[in-house]
Structures are given as structure tokens and as C-alpha cells.
Structure 1
């Protein structure tokens, strides 16, 4: 029996001129926020050794924060350093898809105990299908748990793009529905591997949680995200 085609997938074709115009408008108005300054690797804390890798796109890189200390890496290392001697590394770049991240990690040497990933937005905007996304995320998990030996991987949910303040309707609806499909696939990838946990951020509609560009997290969101990621990483 053929898979049912969702309403947004049907309507995106007649809506294509509107969606294209809105996409161009969003790009023109977008504030191109830089990746924050600060170290992308280091050591912190005391206790049992914990090797941490953070990998992904612009949100993993901390866009929307002024410094790495205010971004995911800074908040997360601070949380984990209360319990461990943390050796950490950030491998993230604005615009990266899951495939880009896999390619980037191929040249990375070393082993990691725990990993946090943040991917999906660029897969959505590059029209990656759910099937492709699941296949690529599965390969990424294989690299993280196999090549790097991670015993715990936290995959951050694909953001709810329909709630991004920067996106007008119907573009927000179309991208939001596709993001939800990819995230459903990401949950399946996590459920299939005992080392992986899927992290959903249940955030309220609070303007303070978005960066000035209406597209990236604010330092407040990074702090909440790090708290939830640390909780999952520290679970026995």
C-alpha cells in the first residue's frame, strides 16, 4: 500500500511561487549572526574523566549567543564539570546538514564517551526526505558509537520550525510539517540504538528564547538545552 501523502506535501506545489518569494524575503531580511567567539575545545572540572563531543549546525556552534560561554558548549561543559573532569570538543558549522557533519567527522581523531548532536534545520531547507534523513542519521550514529566509541549519544530534536518568528505563513507551516516528519524519523533512529537518547525541548512561546534574527536560540534557550542534555548524559 503506497504511503499517504501529507496535505502540506500536496499543497507545496501550487504554493511554490509564494513559498519561493517568502524564502527570498526571509533571506534578505535575515540578520546573518556570526558564530560566537571563544574556545572550541578544552578541559574543565574535577572527577572521573568524561570526553565530550558536540557536533552539528549553527545552533550547535552557538549562533545567537555572544560567546561560546553563553552558547550550548559553555553551558553544557559547566553542567558536566560539576561531576566530571570534562575534555570537550565542538565540531559544528553554520549551514551543515547531517551529511556535511558525517563528512566533517571522518577526519576527526580520538574517542569520545558522550556526544550531543544538533541537526535537521538545514536538512529541511535542502529538501532532504525523511527516508534520506533516517539513513544519514543512522550512519552518523554508527560513526559516533562505533568509530568514536560513544556510550551515550543525545540527538537533539529537529526544531519546530513552524514556531520560528522569522518565518511567515505559509512557509512556516510547510517547513514545520517537514521538520516534524524528520524528527519522527530521528526518534526511530534513537529508539533503534540503546546508546542514543532523543532530546525534545518543550519550550513556551517566549520572545526571550529566540535570538534577534528570530531563527536561532538565545543564550536563555542554550542554558535550558544544556540542562536537559546534561541530565540525559549523566543518566546511568
Structure 2
């Protein structure tokens, strides 16, 4: 209720600041590079990455420096990996669900997801958002039968350099509510694990975000990839 009231009260500021952010924020393209292929030697492993601009690797110039590349670098010496990246800038949970529905039935050992930021910018309530997540992961399990799903938490948008207050504060409250609900959801699903997008830790390690102040940098993608790879090694 408090979040809903805060949103209503701040709507005039949100409109003004939102338009200003759109005009001022640098628009970065999705990185170039292969989004599907096979790499490495060792035990067979299939990986699918799904989601939004962070999943797509926005913030760096090539897929080698993005989340996909970071995961492959960590695992390629121990696994022969068939990989696929299906992610698009601006996609909400509903659009990611549609992406999954449009894909053919096929098995992936691991599905890695990143979704939530674009739901926040559209002011999707944490309650409605978790319902979308339930639908999304039901579709993923049915379509791809993964042994492991690694879901990335919603970033704390109150810490995004590109966002001014009170816009940043409000988006941060949405992210906090979403992550609270999502943590419980993951705990109830045996094949799911959760990675927190810990921007405070990144800053303590002197890791900066991309130059747009909105997306991960190469260094953050590298650390994110290490966390994903650790969870995969524990399972396979």
C-alpha cells in the first residue's frame, strides 16, 4: 500500500524526471558477437541465457565481455558447451515469456535469466511481477526441462548513477519488493538458484557501471559470470 501511495504522490516528479533521464542517458547498443554456438572441451553442457538488456550484454562492445562471454570463459576448459542467447533490450517479463513461447521445445541443462528492470520502469507492482515470474518459470520448465535455473535478482535501481531522486528512490523500493517476493519463490522451486545483483559490493570492489550509468560494465559482467559458473560447477 505504501508503495502504491508513494507512486501516486510522485507521479508528477516521475514524469518530469523520467523524460529528462531518457533525453540525457546515453543509449548503448547490444554488443556484437555470436549468440549461438559450441565452445570448450570436456563434459557436455547446454546453456540458455534469457532476458533483458543486461542478459544481452548492453554496456560492453562484444559478447566476449558480456555475461555470456564471462560464463563461457569460466567453464570452457571443463565443459563442451552448446550455448544460446535470447535477450533483447527493453524486454519486460511479459515479452520474455513471449520469447520463450516462440522458441521450439528443446532441452537445456542450464537456463540463466535476467529480468525486472523494464517492469519497474513501467511501474509493475511487486505482486503483479511475481505472478509474471511464476508464469515465466513455468514456461521455462515446460519448454526446456532444465536441471538448473539461475535467476538474477532485480538490481537496486536506487543506486543507478543515471537516476536522480526521487525517481531512483521509488525504483529502488520496487526492486526491493520484487526481490523479497522472488527470494521466497526461488526457495520453493528445487531446480532454481538466485544471484543477488549486489551493486553495493561491486562499488566496494571499485567496480563501476557502464558509461550510461544504467548497465553492467565488463568488470561487473565478469564477476556475475563467475557467480553463475560457480553454481553450475556445483550442479554438474
CA drift of 1:182 comes to 1.0
Q: CA deviation at 1:205?
A: 2.4
Q: Deviations over 1:157-190 (max 9, x none)?
A: 0000000000001110000000111111211221
Tell me if structure 1 keeps the 8 A contact 2:93–2:115. yes
Runs of 4+ in structure 1 displaced over 4 angstroms?
Answer: none
Whether 1:204 and 2:199 are equivalent positions in the alignment is no
For the 8 Å contact 2:49–2:112, the answer to whether it is kept is yes
Match of 2:133 in 1: 137
Return the offset for 1:51: 0.6
The 1-side partners of 2:14 and 2:117 are apart by 17
- Aligned pair 1:77/2:77, yes or no? no
Corresponding residue of 2:215: 216
> Normalising to structure 2: TM-score of the pair?
0.94
8 Å CA contact 1:133–1:185 kept in 2: the answer is: no
Q: Can you list the C-alpha shifts for 1:37-70, whole angstroms capped at 9, x where unaligned? A: 0010111111111110000000000000110000
1:190 aligns to 2:186 (yes or no)? yes
More helix by share: 2
Aligned-pair Cα RMSD in Å: 1.3
Q: Which one of the candidate residues 155, 161, 166 is aligned to 1:165?
A: 161
CA contact (8 A) 2:156 2:197 kept: no
How far 1:25 sits from its partner (Å)?
0.4
Please list every run of 5 or more consecutive structure 2 residues that lacks an aligned counterpart in the other structure.
Answer: none
> What CA distance in whole angstroms lies between the structure 2 residues aligned with 1:190 and 1:123?
19
Structure 2 residue 84 is matched with structure 1 residue 64:
no
1:147 to 2:140 alignment: no
Number of equivalent positions: 231
2:122 paired with 1:122 = no
| Structure 1: runs of 5+ lacking an equivalent | none
Structure 2 residue matching 1:53: 3-state secondary structure: strand
Shift, 1:204, TM fit: 3.3
Tell me by how many angstroms 1:208 deviates: 4.1
The 2-side partners of 1:178 and 1:226 are apart by: 25
Offset of residue 146 of structure 1: 2.3
Give 1:219 deviation, angstroms.
0.6
2:39 maps to 1:44 = yes
C-alpha deviations, 1:58-93, integer Å up to 9, x for none? 000000011000000011111121221100000000
Q: Secondary structure at the match of 2:139?
A: helix
Q: Give the whole-Å Cα distance in 2 for the aligned partners of 1:144 and 1:105.
A: 7
CA deviation map 1:77-127 (0-9, x unaligned): 111212211000000000001110110111212210101100000011112
